[in-house]
């Protein structure tokens, strides 16, 4: 594997975060419905992509130096 990507672009990382969230919710007495984990991973991946795009635009607009 020579290709790299940011951590937030990895569905494995998001899946692990959802698994941790599901465990925490279950320990708190509020488990996720069966099959909901996949939908949650997809939603979080989409939101992370949108947040990354917005952050990139903000970073470029607020920069005080040009890109060379």
39, pLDDT greater than 70: yes
pLDDT of residue 67: 65
pTM exceeds 0.75, yes or no? no
Percentage of the chain exceeding pLDDT 90: 0
The backbone torsions φ and ψ at residue 64, rounded to the nearest 5 degrees and listed phi first, read: -105, 0
SS3 at position 68: coil
Please answer whether residues 8 and 48 qualify as being in contact, where contact means their C-beta atoms are separated by less than 8 angstroms: yes
Sequence spans of domains, the chain:
10-62
Tell me how far apart the alpha carbons of residues 33 and 18 are, in angstroms, rounded to a whole number: 13
16, pLDDT greater than 70: yes
Mean residue pLDDT across the chain? 81
State both tokens at 63: 């920069």
Question: What mean pLDDT is predicted for residues 2-22?
Answer: 81
């Amino acid at each position: 594997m020579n290709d790299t990507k940011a951590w937030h672009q990895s569905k494995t990382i998001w899946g692990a975060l959802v698994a941790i969230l599901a465990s925490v919710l279950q320990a708190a007495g509020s488990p996720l419905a069966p099959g909901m984990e996949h939908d949650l991973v997809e939603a979080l991946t989409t939101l992370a992509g949108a947040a990354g795009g917005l952050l990139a635009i903000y970073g470029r607009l607020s920069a005080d130096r040009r890109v060379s």
